[in-house]
Structure 1
Amino acid sequence: MSFDLPAALAALPGFPQLRGSRTRLRGPRQDDADAVFALFSDPEVMRYWSRPPMTERTEAEAAIGEMQEAFAERDKINWVIADKSDAVIGTCTLFRFDARHRRAELGYALRSDRWGQGLAHEAVSAALDWAFRSLALHRIEADIDPRNDGSRRILERLGFISEGLLRERYFVGEKVSDTEIFGLLASDWRNGDR
Protein backbone atom coordinates (compact mmCIF):
# COMPACT_ATOMS: atom_id res chain seq x y z
CA MET A 1 0.00 0.00 0.00
CA SER A 2 1.39 3.39 -0.94
CA PHE A 3 1.33 6.53 1.18
CA ASP A 4 -1.22 9.16 0.11
CA LEU A 5 0.80 12.40 0.15
CA PRO A 6 -2.04 14.69 -1.05
CA ALA A 7 -4.32 13.29 1.66
CA ALA A 8 -1.64 13.78 4.31
CA LEU A 9 -1.13 17.39 3.21
CA ALA A 10 -4.89 18.03 3.04
CA ALA A 11 -5.34 16.62 6.56
CA LEU A 12 -3.00 19.18 8.11
CA PRO A 13 -5.17 21.42 10.32
CA GLY A 14 -2.67 24.29 9.99
CA PHE A 15 1.01 24.95 9.57
CA PRO A 16 2.90 22.25 11.45
CA GLN A 17 4.59 23.83 14.47
CA LEU A 18 8.15 22.53 14.71
CA ARG A 19 10.66 23.26 17.47
CA GLY A 20 14.39 23.07 17.86
CA SER A 21 16.32 24.07 20.95
CA ARG A 22 16.74 27.67 19.70
CA THR A 23 14.31 27.98 16.79
CA ARG A 24 10.78 27.18 15.89
CA LEU A 25 9.01 26.93 12.56
CA ARG A 26 5.52 28.37 12.35
CA GLY A 27 3.15 29.80 9.79
CA PRO A 28 3.67 33.41 8.66
CA ARG A 29 1.43 36.20 9.92
CA GLN A 30 0.80 39.62 8.44
CA ASP A 31 2.51 41.21 11.45
CA ASP A 32 5.72 39.47 10.29
CA ALA A 33 5.91 41.81 7.27
CA ASP A 34 8.66 44.04 8.66
CA ALA A 35 10.86 41.05 9.51
CA VAL A 36 10.18 39.35 6.15
CA PHE A 37 11.03 42.58 4.37
CA ALA A 38 14.24 42.96 6.40
CA LEU A 39 15.21 39.41 5.44
CA PHE A 40 14.48 39.57 1.73
CA SER A 41 15.70 43.13 1.18
CA ASP A 42 19.16 42.30 2.56
CA PRO A 43 21.61 42.13 -0.37
CA GLU A 44 23.76 39.60 1.53
CA VAL A 45 20.82 37.21 2.00
CA MET A 46 19.71 37.68 -1.61
CA ARG A 47 23.19 37.48 -3.14
CA TYR A 48 22.63 33.92 -4.39
CA TRP A 49 18.83 33.95 -4.55
CA SER A 50 16.88 33.45 -7.77
CA ARG A 51 15.35 36.94 -7.54
CA PRO A 52 16.63 40.40 -6.67
CA PRO A 53 16.19 41.86 -3.16
CA MET A 54 12.84 43.34 -2.20
CA THR A 55 12.68 47.11 -2.38
CA GLU A 56 9.23 47.81 -0.89
CA ARG A 57 7.54 46.57 2.29
CA THR A 58 4.44 45.80 0.23
CA GLU A 59 6.43 43.00 -1.44
CA ALA A 60 6.82 41.33 1.95
CA GLU A 61 3.11 41.73 2.66
CA ALA A 62 2.33 40.13 -0.69
CA ALA A 63 4.84 37.34 -0.05
CA ILE A 64 3.17 36.50 3.26
CA GLY A 65 -0.20 36.39 1.53
CA GLU A 66 1.26 34.06 -1.10
CA MET A 67 2.76 31.82 1.62
CA GLN A 68 -0.62 31.58 3.35
CA GLU A 69 -2.49 30.94 0.10
CA ALA A 70 0.00 28.29 -1.04
CA PHE A 71 -0.42 26.49 2.27
CA ALA A 72 -4.22 26.71 2.02
CA GLU A 73 -3.94 25.01 -1.38
CA ARG A 74 -1.26 22.65 0.03
CA ASP A 75 1.12 23.59 -2.79
CA LYS A 76 3.91 24.43 -0.39
CA ILE A 77 4.68 24.74 3.29
CA ASN A 78 6.53 28.01 3.75
CA TRP A 79 7.35 28.41 7.42
CA VAL A 80 8.96 31.39 9.04
CA ILE A 81 11.87 30.59 11.33
CA ALA A 82 11.43 32.33 14.67
CA ASP A 83 13.86 32.60 17.55
CA LYS A 84 12.93 32.06 21.20
CA SER A 85 11.42 35.55 21.42
CA ASP A 86 9.23 34.75 18.35
CA ALA A 87 11.17 37.24 16.20
CA VAL A 88 11.30 36.10 12.57
CA ILE A 89 14.88 35.39 11.54
CA GLY A 90 14.32 33.38 8.36
CA THR A 91 12.15 31.08 6.27
CA CYS A 92 12.15 27.38 5.45
CA THR A 93 10.04 25.94 2.64
CA LEU A 94 8.97 22.56 1.32
CA PHE A 95 7.54 22.88 -2.17
CA ARG A 96 7.03 21.18 -5.55
CA PHE A 97 5.52 18.13 -3.91
CA ASP A 98 5.51 15.14 -6.25
CA ALA A 99 3.10 12.54 -4.84
CA ARG A 100 3.89 9.79 -7.33
CA HIS A 101 7.60 9.88 -6.64
CA ARG A 102 7.28 10.96 -2.96
CA ARG A 103 9.58 13.90 -3.53
CA ALA A 104 9.71 17.58 -2.60
CA GLU A 105 12.11 20.50 -2.82
CA LEU A 106 13.59 22.50 0.02
CA GLY A 107 14.48 26.17 0.32
CA TYR A 108 15.60 28.35 3.21
CA ALA A 109 16.90 31.80 4.08
CA LEU A 110 18.31 33.23 7.30
CA ARG A 111 19.03 36.81 8.38
CA SER A 112 22.68 37.59 7.68
CA ASP A 113 23.31 38.78 11.25
CA ARG A 114 22.37 35.27 12.45
CA TRP A 115 24.69 33.34 10.10
CA GLY A 116 27.33 31.05 11.55
CA GLN A 117 25.34 30.13 14.68
CA GLY A 118 23.87 26.82 13.47
CA LEU A 119 20.33 28.22 13.40
CA ALA A 120 19.64 27.40 9.74
CA HIS A 121 20.93 23.86 10.29
CA GLU A 122 18.64 23.43 13.31
CA ALA A 123 15.54 24.79 11.58
CA VAL A 124 16.08 22.91 8.31
CA SER A 125 16.80 19.73 10.25
CA ALA A 126 13.42 20.01 12.00
CA ALA A 127 11.66 20.49 8.65
CA LEU A 128 13.46 17.52 7.09
CA ASP A 129 12.72 15.25 10.02
CA TRP A 130 9.04 16.19 9.90
CA ALA A 131 8.86 15.73 6.09
CA PHE A 132 10.40 12.27 6.16
CA ARG A 133 8.35 11.10 9.17
CA SER A 134 4.98 12.79 8.63
CA LEU A 135 4.80 12.91 4.84
CA ALA A 136 6.76 9.70 4.19
CA LEU A 137 8.81 11.46 1.53
CA HIS A 138 11.44 9.36 -0.19
CA ARG A 139 13.61 12.19 -1.51
CA ILE A 140 14.14 15.89 -0.88
CA GLU A 141 16.04 18.10 -3.29
CA ALA A 142 17.66 21.51 -2.90
CA ASP A 143 19.37 23.72 -5.42
CA ILE A 144 21.88 26.45 -4.66
CA ASP A 145 24.08 28.85 -6.52
CA PRO A 146 27.37 26.91 -6.68
CA ARG A 147 29.21 29.95 -5.26
CA ASN A 148 27.15 29.81 -2.05
CA ASP A 149 29.64 28.05 0.24
CA GLY A 150 27.58 28.65 3.39
CA SER A 151 24.52 26.95 1.98
CA ARG A 152 26.65 24.12 0.61
CA ARG A 153 28.06 23.48 4.11
CA ILE A 154 24.54 23.38 5.60
CA LEU A 155 23.31 20.88 3.02
CA GLU A 156 26.37 18.65 3.26
CA ARG A 157 26.19 18.65 7.05
CA LEU A 158 22.55 17.54 6.77
CA GLY A 159 23.59 14.63 4.52
CA PHE A 160 22.69 16.03 1.09
CA ILE A 161 24.81 14.86 -1.84
CA SER A 162 25.71 17.11 -4.77
CA GLU A 163 24.21 15.55 -7.88
CA GLY A 164 25.14 17.97 -10.62
CA LEU A 165 25.32 21.43 -12.09
CA LEU A 166 22.63 23.02 -14.24
CA ARG A 167 24.24 25.73 -16.32
CA GLU A 168 22.69 29.20 -16.62
CA ARG A 169 19.40 28.14 -15.03
CA TYR A 170 18.30 31.44 -13.45
CA PHE A 171 18.18 35.06 -14.54
CA VAL A 172 18.41 37.47 -11.62
CA GLY A 173 17.86 40.85 -13.17
CA GLU A 174 20.10 40.77 -16.23
CA LYS A 175 22.62 38.30 -14.80
CA VAL A 176 22.40 34.58 -15.44
CA SER A 177 23.60 32.04 -12.89
CA ASP A 178 24.17 28.32 -12.62
CA THR A 179 22.54 26.12 -10.00
CA GLU A 180 23.79 23.00 -8.26
CA ILE A 181 21.35 20.24 -7.36
CA PHE A 182 21.59 18.35 -4.06
CA GLY A 183 19.57 15.30 -3.04
CA LEU A 184 18.79 13.64 0.27
CA LEU A 185 17.07 10.26 0.54
CA ALA A 186 14.97 9.14 3.49
CA SER A 187 17.46 6.30 4.01
CA ASP A 188 20.32 8.84 4.13
CA TRP A 189 18.40 10.78 6.78
CA ARG A 190 17.61 7.74 8.93
CA ASN A 191 21.18 6.50 8.78
CA GLY A 192 22.88 9.91 8.95
CA ASP A 193 25.06 11.31 11.66
CA ARG A 194 24.16 14.99 11.78
Structure 2
Amino acid sequence: MACFPFTRTLAQPRDMATDQRIDITATLGALPAFPQLRGKRVRLRGPTAGDADDLFALFSDPEVMRYWSRAPMRERGEAEGLIGEILDAFSKRELLNWVIVDADDRVIGTTTLFRFDPRHRRAEVGYALRSDHWGRGLASEAVSLAIDWALRTLDLHRVEADIDPRNHASRRVLERLGFRSEGVLRERFFVGDEATDSELFGVLATEWRERRR
Protein backbone atom coordinates (compact mmCIF):
# COMPACT_ATOMS: atom_id res chain seq x y z
CA MET A 1 0.00 0.00 0.00
CA ALA A 2 1.35 3.43 -0.93
CA CYS A 3 1.64 5.90 1.91
CA PHE A 4 1.05 9.60 1.23
CA PRO A 5 1.81 12.62 3.45
CA PHE A 6 -1.34 14.17 4.89
CA THR A 7 -2.26 17.81 4.52
CA ARG A 8 -3.43 19.72 7.57
CA THR A 9 -7.06 20.79 7.14
CA LEU A 10 -8.87 23.71 8.66
CA ALA A 11 -10.71 21.30 10.93
CA GLN A 12 -7.50 20.30 12.69
CA PRO A 13 -6.44 22.21 15.80
CA ARG A 14 -3.84 24.90 15.31
CA ASP A 15 -0.46 24.62 16.97
CA MET A 16 -0.27 27.93 18.81
CA ALA A 17 3.40 27.34 19.72
CA THR A 18 4.22 27.00 16.02
CA ASP A 19 2.29 30.17 15.19
CA GLN A 20 4.41 32.13 17.67
CA ARG A 21 7.78 30.87 16.45
CA ILE A 22 10.37 33.11 14.87
CA ASP A 23 10.13 33.42 11.09
CA ILE A 24 13.60 32.22 10.12
CA THR A 25 13.49 33.54 6.55
CA ALA A 26 12.26 36.97 7.62
CA THR A 27 14.77 37.19 10.46
CA LEU A 28 17.68 36.36 8.16
CA GLY A 29 16.39 38.82 5.59
CA ALA A 30 16.23 41.61 8.17
CA LEU A 31 19.90 41.29 9.14
CA PRO A 32 21.62 44.56 8.18
CA ALA A 33 25.07 42.94 8.22
CA PHE A 34 26.94 39.94 9.57
CA PRO A 35 26.23 39.69 13.32
CA GLN A 36 29.47 40.30 15.24
CA LEU A 37 29.91 37.64 17.89
CA ARG A 38 32.50 37.92 20.62
CA GLY A 39 33.94 35.16 22.78
CA LYS A 40 36.69 35.12 25.38
CA ARG A 41 39.48 34.60 22.85
CA VAL A 42 37.97 34.93 19.37
CA ARG A 43 35.49 37.08 17.52
CA LEU A 44 33.31 36.30 14.49
CA ARG A 45 32.72 38.96 11.85
CA GLY A 46 32.04 39.23 8.15
CA PRO A 47 34.99 39.05 5.72
CA THR A 48 36.52 42.09 4.03
CA ALA A 49 38.80 42.50 1.02
CA GLY A 50 41.72 42.98 3.43
CA ASP A 51 41.32 39.38 4.65
CA ALA A 52 42.42 37.82 1.35
CA ASP A 53 46.00 37.04 2.41
CA ASP A 54 44.93 35.42 5.66
CA LEU A 55 42.20 33.39 3.97
CA PHE A 56 44.63 32.23 1.31
CA ALA A 57 47.08 31.15 4.02
CA LEU A 58 44.26 29.21 5.69
CA PHE A 59 42.81 27.45 2.66
CA SER A 60 46.10 26.77 0.89
CA ASP A 61 47.39 24.76 3.87
CA PRO A 62 47.30 21.04 2.97
CA GLU A 63 46.87 20.13 6.64
CA VAL A 64 43.74 22.27 6.96
CA MET A 65 42.33 21.01 3.66
CA ARG A 66 43.20 17.33 4.15
CA TYR A 67 39.61 16.32 4.85
CA TRP A 68 37.70 19.04 3.01
CA SER A 69 35.57 18.39 -0.07
CA ARG A 70 37.85 20.54 -2.24
CA ALA A 71 41.57 20.75 -2.91
CA PRO A 72 43.81 23.42 -1.31
CA MET A 73 43.87 26.84 -2.93
CA ARG A 74 46.80 27.46 -5.24
CA GLU A 75 46.46 31.18 -6.02
CA ARG A 76 45.62 34.24 -3.92
CA GLY A 77 42.91 35.14 -6.41
CA GLU A 78 40.92 32.15 -5.17
CA ALA A 79 40.74 33.75 -1.72
CA GLU A 80 39.57 37.01 -3.27
CA GLY A 81 36.93 35.06 -5.16
CA LEU A 82 35.86 33.31 -1.98
CA ILE A 83 35.27 36.65 -0.24
CA GLY A 84 33.08 37.74 -3.13
CA GLU A 85 31.13 34.47 -2.98
CA ILE A 86 30.63 34.81 0.78
CA LEU A 87 29.33 38.37 0.48
CA ASP A 88 27.08 37.45 -2.44
CA ALA A 89 25.65 34.47 -0.54
CA PHE A 90 25.01 36.69 2.47
CA SER A 91 23.17 39.20 0.29
CA LYS A 92 20.84 36.35 -0.70
CA ARG A 93 20.78 35.09 2.91
CA GLU A 94 21.89 31.63 1.75
CA LEU A 95 24.58 31.33 4.39
CA LEU A 96 26.46 33.15 7.13
CA ASN A 97 30.18 32.58 6.62
CA TRP A 98 32.02 34.39 9.39
CA VAL A 99 35.76 34.75 9.65
CA ILE A 100 37.27 33.91 13.03
CA VAL A 101 39.64 36.65 14.17
CA ASP A 102 42.07 36.92 17.08
CA ALA A 103 42.68 39.87 19.40
CA ASP A 104 44.61 41.64 16.61
CA ASP A 105 41.72 41.20 14.13
CA ARG A 106 43.75 38.73 12.07
CA VAL A 107 41.81 35.92 10.42
CA ILE A 108 42.65 32.52 11.89
CA GLY A 109 39.68 30.53 10.59
CA THR A 110 36.07 30.50 9.45
CA THR A 111 32.72 29.37 10.83
CA THR A 112 29.69 28.94 8.62
CA LEU A 113 25.95 28.42 9.09
CA PHE A 114 24.35 27.20 5.87
CA ARG A 115 21.58 25.08 4.34
CA PHE A 116 18.93 26.82 6.39
CA ASP A 117 15.69 24.84 6.35
CA PRO A 118 12.93 27.08 7.76
CA ARG A 119 10.25 24.39 7.41
CA HIS A 120 12.14 21.90 9.58
CA ARG A 121 14.00 24.53 11.60
CA ARG A 122 17.49 23.25 11.01
CA ALA A 123 20.83 24.35 9.56
CA GLU A 124 24.35 23.02 9.09
CA VAL A 125 27.55 24.31 10.61
CA GLY A 126 31.07 24.15 9.19
CA TYR A 127 34.43 25.43 10.35
CA ALA A 128 38.14 25.68 9.59
CA LEU A 129 41.05 26.82 11.74
CA ARG A 130 44.66 27.60 10.96
CA SER A 131 46.79 24.57 11.78
CA ASP A 132 49.14 26.54 14.04
CA HIS A 133 46.13 27.28 16.28
CA TRP A 134 44.94 23.68 16.63
CA GLY A 135 44.63 22.06 20.05
CA ARG A 136 43.66 25.23 21.94
CA GLY A 137 39.88 24.91 21.86
CA LEU A 138 39.46 27.90 19.54
CA ALA A 139 37.36 26.02 16.98
CA SER A 140 35.01 24.87 19.73
CA GLU A 141 34.68 28.44 21.00
CA ALA A 142 33.94 29.82 17.53
CA VAL A 143 31.39 27.13 16.68
CA SER A 144 29.70 27.65 20.05
CA LEU A 145 29.29 31.35 19.31
CA ALA A 146 27.64 30.60 15.97
CA ILE A 147 25.29 27.95 17.38
CA ASP A 148 24.33 30.04 20.41
CA TRP A 149 23.42 32.89 18.05
CA ALA A 150 21.44 30.60 15.72
CA LEU A 151 19.41 28.99 18.49
CA ARG A 152 18.70 32.31 20.19
CA THR A 153 18.00 34.39 17.08
CA LEU A 154 16.48 31.85 14.68
CA ASP A 155 14.97 29.40 17.17
CA LEU A 156 16.43 26.41 15.32
CA HIS A 157 15.41 22.94 16.45
CA ARG A 158 18.51 21.15 15.18
CA VAL A 159 22.03 21.85 13.93
CA GLU A 160 23.95 19.39 11.75
CA ALA A 161 27.56 18.93 10.68
CA ASP A 162 29.34 16.45 8.46
CA ILE A 163 32.97 15.41 8.47
CA ASP A 164 35.27 12.93 6.82
CA PRO A 165 35.21 9.99 9.27
CA ARG A 166 39.03 10.02 9.33
CA ASN A 167 39.09 13.58 10.68
CA HIS A 168 39.48 12.71 14.36
CA ALA A 169 40.29 16.28 15.42
CA SER A 170 37.03 17.55 13.94
CA ARG A 171 35.17 14.66 15.56
CA ARG A 172 36.54 15.72 18.95
CA VAL A 173 35.33 19.29 18.38
CA LEU A 174 31.80 18.12 17.64
CA GLU A 175 31.64 15.58 20.44
CA ARG A 176 32.96 18.17 22.90
CA LEU A 177 30.05 20.41 21.87
CA GLY A 178 27.47 17.66 22.37
CA PHE A 179 26.94 16.51 18.78
CA ARG A 180 26.15 12.85 18.20
CA SER A 181 27.26 10.72 15.27
CA GLU A 182 24.23 9.66 13.25
CA GLY A 183 25.73 7.56 10.48
CA VAL A 184 28.16 7.43 7.57
CA LEU A 185 27.28 8.18 3.95
CA ARG A 186 29.67 6.22 1.78
CA GLU A 187 31.75 7.90 -0.94
CA ARG A 188 29.65 11.08 -0.84
CA PHE A 189 32.34 13.53 -2.00
CA PHE A 190 35.14 13.54 -4.56
CA VAL A 191 38.32 15.37 -3.61
CA GLY A 192 40.24 15.26 -6.86
CA ASP A 193 39.91 11.62 -7.93
CA GLU A 194 39.40 10.28 -4.41
CA ALA A 195 35.87 9.33 -3.31
CA THR A 196 35.47 10.08 0.40
CA ASP A 197 32.88 9.17 3.00
CA SER A 198 30.83 11.68 5.01
CA GLU A 199 29.82 11.18 8.64
CA LEU A 200 26.74 13.08 9.79
CA PHE A 201 26.52 14.62 13.27
CA GLY A 202 23.60 16.40 14.89
CA VAL A 203 22.64 18.22 18.06
CA LEU A 204 19.14 19.25 19.16
CA ALA A 205 18.40 22.63 20.68
CA THR A 206 17.16 20.92 23.86
CA GLU A 207 20.43 18.99 24.18
CA TRP A 208 22.51 22.10 23.56
CA ARG A 209 20.73 24.13 26.22
CA GLU A 210 20.77 21.31 28.74
CA ARG A 211 24.57 21.03 28.53
CA ARG A 212 24.93 24.75 29.21
CA ARG A 213 22.84 24.98 32.35
Alignment of 1:27-106 (within 5 A): 27-106=46-125
Q: CA deviation at 1:181?
A: 0.1
Which residues of structure 1 form unaligned runs of 5+?
none
Matched with 1:188 is: 207
TM-score between both structures, scaled by the size of structure 1: 0.98
Q: CA deviation at 1:13?
A: 1.0
* TM-superposition CA deviations, 1:23-44 (whole Å, max 9, x none): 0000000110000000000000
SS in 1 for 2:32: coil
**Distance of 2:212 and 2:44 partners within structure 1:** 22
Alignment of 1:1-194 (within 5 A): 1=19, 2-193=21-212
SS in 2 for 1:7: helix
Q: Which amino acid in the other structure matches residue 163 of structure 2?
A: I
- What percentage of aligned pairs have identical amino acids? 68
**Distance of 2:32 and 2:155 partners within structure 1:** 18
Q: Which amino acid in the other structure matches residue 202 of structure 2?
A: G
Which residues of structure 2 form unaligned runs of 5+?
1-18
**Distance of 1:24 and 1:137 partners within structure 2:** 22
Runs of 4+ displaced beyond 2 Å: none
Q: CA deviation at 1:193?
A: 4.7
**Distance of 2:200 and 2:179 partners within structure 1:** 10
**Distance of 1:50 and 1:130 partners within structure 2:** 26
SS in 2 for 1:143: strand
Q: Which amino acid in the other structure matches residue 71 of structure 2?
A: P
Q: CA deviation at 1:52?
A: 0.3
Q: CA deviation at 1:3?
A: 2.4
Q: Note the aligned Cα RMSD (angstroms).
A: 0.9
TM-score between both structures, scaled by the size of structure 2: 0.90
**Distance of 1:12 and 1:76 partners within structure 2:** 12
Structure with larger Rg: 2
**Distance of 1:185 and 1:44 partners within structure 2:** 30
Q: Which amino acid in the other structure matches residue 95 of structure 2?
A: K
* TM-superposition CA deviations, 1:38-68 (whole Å, max 9, x none): 0000000000000000000000000000001
* TM-superposition CA deviations, 1:140-184 (whole Å, max 9, x none): 100000000000000000000000000000000000100100001
**Distance of 1:50 and 1:30 partners within structure 2:** 24
